[in-house]
Structure 1
């Protein structure tokens, strides 16, 4: 196949779907010097994007988009993709509360995009899809169809898009060299390329997330044991990371279960596939059970240490997003905690998520985190935003009505918290009562 390229000798790259995935990925491609066409059927959205008004919160993304404005074209005209040598399908795939994907929108988008492409253009599926999805697309010749594994992480998406550890590419036949245009684009990122069968690439993404969840489950299971027997999980983690079989980058921080939707989707996919093919997925079900158990830690602890003892207590909450540096609340442990305490009065703060997202009858929002503490009997830090790490425990103690602080992610220095007189609770640590408390 003859490879058509732009006048500058580089392929013109298109992205269909201007959600978090599409915007971050398109901006990173533009930053590598490629003319990039960004399509969405939403004319209002593309108009705002043209003005630099981004619908997502992501550190570094505003600068990345504005710095590449001359190479980024935002359009609601499907015909704009006809100028592209390859087009990514890059819309986020929605999931329900059980992690099941709704593939209807992506199938409709593919159908529309294929009809607008020039005959020799490539189509690359960048969305998270179950194994078998890409090969089932029959509207594109196999030699012009690829699947690329996306490994973005909310809050660190720009860094991961710009500097990937490797690129995993699903192909109809991995023994056939990649199309020169696609290879030229991927080579610009300077990382190893791993071509493989469509199904292998689709499952590779799931395998990565399963390994991540297994580490989270180990951390959550053993950190809870630490709380019961007097051990300190933070003392154990360095020993694990120095083991070459585990590694210094291992994700071993305990948390309030898995959240955000992406990990849950992959676990649901494994369970569905195992049921269909008669394989065993008991360990995956155990991970989900463990996640739900740890998700409820904050609600159970605040009941035990405060609400069971004081009727009408007020609790301050810092953080509603499912993690720091994102506006997403998908499967947020913070919102799950509030929902389990429907009769409690909360005063909440989040840097980007409004209090209305809590949908709680007794939750009110404030603009300053210390303001939330006035008159509150306890503080729960349920999203580890960087803004909260710079607030000293002494300032918290001076503003908080009570002494109780639940800090599952270890945002505060626990020794400083105790010196400040706070009754401090965190994951993986035995509780040490403050002097004079019961």
Structure 2
């Protein structure tokens, strides 16, 4: 068989990163979107997403990928991934209208022998309900991680594949494409694959919540979670890659969507979902950590305080602000002036009546009474605590992700607070 010709429909984060990775694997690839201005922008090298290494990967393999909004370009494709990002609302419920419309468009503009793969995150039952007579429509679990998309797309751990008959041979074009990545293939029924992605995120959420719960206890009893986590990673039943870093709740939208899906399905089918609801409640509690610390240490006594915020994205190496703890904090500080800086997100993303955009990280700390480092951008790790102490008016620094060196922060006279350790742990 000749090498299959690949297309990805939907040039948002998932589709774009996946298409460039396919080209990097040596396949003639089409990045398709119905928005001609978007495909023209991408073709010119102006990518609408921020991912470390993605621009370089595209430049290196530009000769194997085209971008188009012309439906005719889909006609000669053997394998077409339907891969738009699926938006969610504030409660984690997916809006499936966009992927439905794009799937219909792809079916109308591809040959009957083309294999159609739904790559976007969808609830169990979605793919089976969209079957068309005479067409091959299957499902593949996406494993995109914001800030690590290039790594995840070019070096996948495994492919989880949803099939009408998991015991039958995979469509030839699909199998040939997947085998080029050299990782295990796990075929299963459609609903199992759709639920597998949700299961992975539920397990990750449970791990994160365990870390957050015990890290908070560390803050009260004088223990330090950073000393405990390595012991768990050396336990074979947990492992070196476990999600054990405490954080400000769940964010980004994907895990929250899957928790919401499980709660909705549990309500429909009468199953117990109390563990999932406990995870959601713990996430909301932990996301409020910075506000609680600010009020306890400063705002209750200093009504005229000024606050600096470093980081607006929900995590480093992305421009996404979905469920960002930083933006939630800024919205809660409406009564106090705030200075903010993020290397990828404009300060206008914050909802606040007195929000000033800082020109850089040090500028965000200038003359403030407290500084909250809400996103662990790598460049923030270059900040010297002594420099912060010199330009801040106050001394309170909230650093949930341990961006700064704690001993240096205390040595500089800062009131340094982080997740998983009491305020006195590093000074004792």
Q: TM-score, normalised by structure 1?
A: 0.96
**Correspondent of 2:327 among 312, 327, 335:** 335
Report whether the alignment pairs 1:248 with 2:240: yes
Matched-pair contact (CA < 8 Å) for 2:139–2:161: yes
**1:258-337 counterparts in 2 under 5 A?**
258-337=250-329
**Correspondent of 1:42 among 35, 42, 45:** 35
Report whether the alignment pairs 1:108 with 2:101: yes
1:118 CA displacement: 0.7
1:372 CA displacement: 1.4
What is residue 145 of structure 1 aligned with on the other side? 137
1:248 CA displacement: 0.8
Q: Which runs of 4+ in 1 moved over 4 A?
A: none
Matched-pair contact (CA < 8 Å) for 1:299–1:338: no
**Correspondent of 1:89 among 66, 76, 82:** 82
> How many residues are matched?
427
1:399 CA displacement: 2.0
1:433 CA displacement: 9.0
Matched-pair contact (CA < 8 Å) for 1:149–1:201: yes
**After alignment, is 215-224 or 389-398 more displaced?**
389-398
**1:8-407 counterparts in 2 under 5 A?**
9-139=2-132, 141=134, 144-407=136-399
Distance 2:262 2:426 in 1: 46
Q: Deviations over 1:350-370 (max 9, x none)?
A: 001001000211111112110
**Secondary structure, aligned partner of 1:134:** helix
Matched-pair contact (CA < 8 Å) for 1:146–1:172: yes
**Correspondent of 2:402 among 403, 410, 413:** 410
1:141 CA displacement: 4.0
Distance 2:329 2:144 in 1: 27
Distance 1:48 1:356 in 2: 24
Structure 1 unaligned runs (5+)?
A: none
Q: TM-score, normalised by structure 2?
A: 0.98
Structure 2 unaligned runs (5+)?
A: none
Distance 1:164 1:140 in 2: 32
1:79 CA displacement: 1.8
1:393 CA displacement: 1.3
**Secondary structure, aligned partner of 1:53:** coil
Matched-pair contact (CA < 8 Å) for 2:124–2:191: yes
Matched-pair contact (CA < 8 Å) for 2:407–2:426: no
